[in-house]
Amino acid sequence: MIIILKPDISEEQLEHLVAHVESAGLQTHLSRGTFRTIVGVIGDETAISSDRLRSFTGVQDVVPVLPPYKLASLQAHPQPSVVDVNGIRIGGGHLGMIAGPCAVEEEERMDAIAAAIKQSGANLLRGGAYKPRSSPYSFQGLGEEGLKILRRVGDRHQLPVVTEITDPRNLDKVLQYTDMLQVGARNMQNFVLLSEVGNTTTPVLLKRGMSATINDLLMSAEYILSKGNPNVVLCERGIKGFDTLTRNLFDVAAVPLIRTLSHLPVIVDPSHATGRPELIPACAMAGLAAGADGVHIEVHNCPEQAMSDGPQALLPEQYDVLAGQLAQLATLLGKNISSKSTPSGEGS
Ligand code: PEP
Ligand code: MN
């Protein structure tokens, strides 16, 4: 890191600062300019707190050279990571096509949706059994019964499953049934939950909080990675905007931006990002074109009866058209969509 000093720093204050840095086992390199003097710090930056350095008298600013998300950073791992979700790869040229209803409802309905999305080329089935709802009076999910339905339906259609974990107390239960844990936008900074999922090896779909910066998202990923779970997939799902015509503001630039900062796979969720079925195809295509490693789309065969997020659900026939277009785009981009029934992983 680089410490920028105030012009009026005294020699005594400078010596005090340098002694502090060196006592942490780091080396210093002083560079005296005409107007400013800077101190280059050489060694493991994590050995010293930049906030503490900022509080020294005579220090103007501290500029870290390495990002604070050490394990999530591209420097730590220059090659793109590939996350394997029970045989379905996401990242490094492999696309995760996650689809399914917002919430797990009756088994028959889940079965019909799973059959349809599988036929269209989806390779992962989603469905929430624990729903984080804004109102305590809204449907909260079927709980363990929902997990059982999701597992049975996923197995029947050879689709690995993704479901949300909202509470660390449910982790052991959810792990019995799922192939991938979703940490939702509202829990992106639930650090206890992040640490707990980090103590497992189950892949985690980490959704960006609606007011979270990319830095915040990568720091949350760091929580999971630092506990030892390397299987993290990031998800851009829209952030709060001022326009009320869409549910959120789809930040498509987040995808190529994350690419410059991190090796972790990143997918897009145009369903929650827009909240409007008619906008989902364009945003899904844009996300893939921007370099996303997959798309996450809510599909329901009877949106007016959906227990949650019905207004943003695509009908299976709409998803089918979109999935066909996404597959064509994937070919153009030289990416592939693997599925459990085509283990070679080629084509969709
Ligand atoms: C969901 O996937 O249904 C969901 C609640 O997503 P988010 O956390 O992005 O709002
Ligand atoms: Mn939803």
CA of 272 to the centre of ligand 1 (A): 7
Residues 6+ apart with CB under 8 A from 312: 247, 271, 272, 274, 275, 276, 277, 280, 298
pLDDT tens digits, one per residue of 163-219 = 999 999 999 999 999 999 999 999 999 999 999 999 999 999 999 999 999 999 999
d(CA 116, CA 62): 55
Question: If you average pLDDT over every residue of the chain, what do you get?
Answer: 95
Nearest ligand atom owner, CA of 187: 1
pLDDT tens digits, one per residue of 147-173 = 999 999 999 999 999 999 999 999 999
CA of 103 to the centre of ligand 1 (A): 10
* 206 membership: H or E segment, kind and range: strand 204-207
pTM: 0.92
The answer to whether 241 and 249 are in contact (CB under 8 A) is yes
CA of 126 to the centre of ligand 2 (A): 10
Atom of ligand 1 nearest to the CA of 102: 3
Per-residue pLDDT band for 237 (boundaries 50, 70, 90) equals very high
Ligand 1 pocket, CB under 6 A: 102, 128, 132, 184-186, 207, 237, 272
Per-residue pLDDT band for 138 (boundaries 50, 70, 90) equals very high
Residues 6+ apart with CB under 8 A from 276: 246, 247, 311, 312
Q: Is the pLDDT of residue 106 over 80?
A: yes
Query: What's the alpha-carbon Rg for the chain, to the nearest Å?
Result: 23
Q: Is the pLDDT of residue 344 over 50?
A: no
In 3D space, the residue among 200, 155, 190, 160 whose CA is nearest the CA of residue 294 turns out to be 160
Nearest ligand atom owner, CA of 186: 1
